[in-house]
Amino acid sequence: MRILVVEDDADIAAFLCKGLREAGHAADHAADGRNGLFLATGEAYDAIVLDRLLPQMDGLSMLAALRATGSRVPVLILSALGQVDERIKGLRAGGDDYVVKPFAIAELLARIDVITRRGLMPVAESRLRVADLELDRMARVVKRAGEVIALKPQEYRVLEFLMRHAGQVVTRTMLLEGVWDYHFDPQTNVIDVHLSRLRAKVDHAPWTTLIHTLRGTGYCLREPQ
């Protein structure tokens, strides 16, 4: 994919571009808002990574100007401002997702993956299926190899989130934001405990492993290769 990075800090920009290229994307860089807007309107990008505090034109103004031209390119806002209200402001201005600095490159890549595929995903699909794992969203029933598995509401929501993002990397932060209604700092490794419990129910031997742990990043639920 072709991705535009709008970031004024040269080190962070270089780190971002390198990370994106290693993940197989083509990355362009703009160091200020005006230049970023110029590139974003002139070229066809699959996604934009946008810093909030920029010289010339701040990130949110640039985003508003970009959206005013009718562009619907997915935008991931990058910011040191992590307050809940700042986040809401960013999403309201037309951002598709919001990542708080400092961040891990894996987190960023996973989120870019999600926002660029959002348009392709059938949101209202009532039946999700990965290999022999089935989830009926109408009846709220989960089956593995035809066998009905009883899940607690919380486990069900985690599994639903993973299946909706099947094949994509899902980070712990994404799980927190997607499954729980609260914006909070998870403290210890509670998420991992939730996942291991879910696995014990839907992903244990002799079934083929579908939920994979990616060390230092998160999880991925995918078809066996």
Partner 1 sequence: MRLRLSTSARLTLANSALLAVAFGALLLLVTWLADRFMAGHVQESVEAELRIMESEFNVDGVHGVAALIEQRMLIVSPNHDRLYRLEGPDGSLLAGNVMAWPAKAPAPEQPFKMPSRRFPGVTVVDLRWAGLSDGSRLLVGFDEIEVAQVRGDIRRAALWSLGAMLLISLSAGFLLTRAALRPVEAIRRAAQRIMEGDLKHRIPVRSGGDEFDRLGETLNTMLDQINRLIASVRGATDNIAHDLRSPLTRHRARLEAALRDAPPPDQLQPWIEHNLADLDKVLATFQSLLRIASVESGLLRQEFVTCDIAQLARDAADYIEPLAEEQQQQLVVQVTAGAPLPAHPHLLFQMLINLLDNAVKYSPPGGAIVIDAHATETGWRLAVADTGPGIPLDERGRVFERLYRLDASRHTPGLGLGLSLVKAVVDLHHGTIRVEDNRPGTRIVIALPFESLPNDDA
| Closest separation in Å from C-beta 133 to partner 1 | 20
The per-residue DSSP string of 111-127 comes to HHHHHHHGGGS-TT-SE
Q: How far apart are CA 76 and CA 96, in angstroms?
A: 6
- Strand ranges, E, within the chain: 2-6, 26-30, 47-51, 75-79, 97-100, 127-130, 133-136, 141-144, 147-149, 169-171, 211-214, 218-221
| Closest separation in Å from C-beta 224 to partner 1 | 26
Q: Rule CB under 8 A: say whether 194 interacts with partner 1.
A: yes
Q: Which CB sits closer to partner 1, 11 or 85? A: 85
Q: Which of 74, 76, 66, 67 is nearest to 19 (CA)?
A: 76
Among 68, 69, 187, 205, binds partner 1 (CB under 8 A): 187
Contact letters for partner 1, residues 82-121 (x by CB under 8 A): xxxx----------------x-------------------
Q: Rule CB under 8 A: say whether 224 interacts with partner 1.
A: no
Q: Rule CB under 8 A: say whether 148 interacts with partner 1.
A: no
Residue 38, both tokens: 């110029």
| Closest separation in Å from C-beta 200 to partner 1 | 10
Q: Rule CB under 8 A: say whether 183 interacts with partner 1.
A: yes
| Closest separation in Å from C-beta 189 to partner 1 | 9
Chain positions 7 to 66 lying near partner 1, rule: CB under 8 A, are none
Going edge to edge, which strands form the sheet with 218-221?
Answer: 169-171, 218-221, 211-214
| Closest separation in Å from C-beta 96 to partner 1 | 21
Question: Quick one: CA torsion of 51, 121, 119, 184, rounded to 10 degrees?
Answer: -30
Q: Which positions lie near partner 1, rule CB under 8 A?
A: 82-85, 102, 152-154, 180-188, 190, 193-194, 197, 216
